[in-house]
Every structure is written in C-alpha cells, then in structure tokens.
A and B are shown apart, each in its own frame.
Chain A
Amino acid sequence: QKEVEQNSGPLSVPEGAIASLNCTYSDRGSQSFFWYRQYSGKSPELIMFIYSNGDKEDGRFTAQLNKASQYVSLLIRDSQPSDSATYLCAGQPTGTASKLTFGTGTRLQVTL
C-alpha cells in the first residue's frame, strides 16, 4: 500500500469553477501535510501546508485535513487556466524528521 495516494486524473474543470483535489494517507501518525504545484518541466512549488484537523484558507486555496479519515484535500476556488498543473500531496510520516513522502500527483486542467 502506498503511503500517500492520489488520483492521477486528469481532473478537468471549467474556468471559474472550484477544483477539488484529494489525497489519502496510510500512516496514522503523520502530522503535517503539504500541497505542491508542479508545472510541466518545472520543480514543485509549495502552495500550502496543514497540520490541524479542519480547514486552512489562503487566498483562493483551502486545505482540509481529516485525521480520523486520513484524508487531505485542496480546494481551488475561481479556477484559472494558469492553475493547470500537477498537484502533489506530501506527508511527513512518523519518525522521519523532515522527510516527505509524495503521492503520485493529480493533473488539473482548467478549461476556457
């Protein structure tokens, strides 16, 4: 079983809609979770991180964490074509200091 799982997509949403990206994890002891955006041919860029149950908002982005269900999500409001990218979910497994385990990523396509 993979430690962090994501649907590879592509997830296609129209411009202006809400994109919902989901991630599950297997290590119940994981404390912090990170969402990275990766454009084709580029390296990952940190968008948000979350460590407490509930929602965390930053501009058009909202991260959600449910530790009981071992579920993390990222909502992108008012999606723009420039949001088209692969979104990587990463967790910090128990006892791994600052190491990250990445999911395979979900490719998002925002259509005009």
Chain B
Amino acid sequence: GAVVSQHPSWVICKSGTSVKIECRSLDFQATTMFWYRQFPKQSLMLMATSNEGSKATYEQGVEKDKFLINHASLTLSTLTVTSAHPEDSSFYICSANPPGLRYNEQFFGPGTRLTVL
C-alpha cells in the first residue's frame, strides 16, 4: 500500500515553455499532497501543500503564479511550471499521507527530473 506515482519521470523543455507534472496516489485517497524541489546535493525543500478542492498553500519565497498547483481529485495533483527557465531545472518530488496513519507518515513519488534548455 501507500504507492504514489509521478509522470513524467523526466522531461526536457525549452526555456519559456510550460511543463505539467502529475502526482497520483494509486491505492489511497489523498486530500493533501506535498510538492518538493531538490537541487543537486541539497535537501528537499517544500514548495507547497496541495489541498483537494481548494487553493494550494505555498511556502515563503515560492511564486504561486509560476508554480501552478491543481488538486482536482482525491488521487491527482498537478504541478505546472510556467515559463520555465534553466534555473528551474531540478528534481521535483511529490508526497502524500495515506489516511488513517496516526503519525502522518509521508510517502514519496519517484520524482520528475526537469531540465530546461
């Protein structure tokens, strides 16, 4: 149980284009999902908390108009990187908490490696 998938696993795009990344909970429903970004040799930085049926909550310093999050169903959250630039190249990872876990353990998707040329 507690399987989270992401698609695509890697993507290369040109500067100025937009890229959509999907995060799905495969065997549970998730009212909340989390989006992280990880640069090489650095730790995970939480970008935003995705809430089903409502607006995402962004961490300080994360541009909500650049990183659009849509949590349209209990099993799918999407992150769209708009007008991507080379500095947005990073490893994007989502996570979710299966319901009913007392200590809110988070389970991660496999990640999406974005390269912006």
Chain A residues in the interface with B (C-beta under 8 A): 32, 34, 36, 42-46, 49, 51, 88, 92, 97-105
Interface of A is mostly: loop
Would you give the shortest CB distance from B56 to chain A, in whole angstroms?
13
Do A98 and B43 have beta carbons less than 8 Å apart?
no
Q: Mark B44-66, 1 if CB is under 8 A from A, else 0.
A: 11100100000000000000000
A102 to B97: give the CA distance in the assembly, Å: 16
A34 to B101: give the CA distance in the assembly, Å: 14
Interface of B is mostly: loop
B105 is contacted by which of A46, A99, A105 (Cβ under 8 Å)? A46
Do A42 and B110 have beta carbons less than 8 Å apart?
yes
Chain B: how many interface residues by the 8 Å CB criterion? 19
A44 to B45: give the CA distance in the assembly, Å: 13
Do B43 and A104 have beta carbons less than 8 Å apart?
yes
Do B108 and A44 have beta carbons less than 8 Å apart?
yes
Do B43 and A102 have beta carbons less than 8 Å apart?
yes
Do A98 and B97 have beta carbons less than 8 Å apart?
yes
Do A43 and B111 have beta carbons less than 8 Å apart?
yes
Would you give the shortest CB distance from A5 to chain B, in whole angstroms?
11
Do B104 and A97 have beta carbons less than 8 Å apart?
yes
Residue of B with least CB distance to A100 = B106
A98 is contacted by which of B32, B93, B108, B110 (Cβ under 8 Å)? B32
B42 is contacted by which of A34, A51, A101, A104 (Cβ under 8 Å)? A104
Contacts A42-B110, A42-B111, A99-B34 given; does A32 touch B104 at CB 8 Å: yes
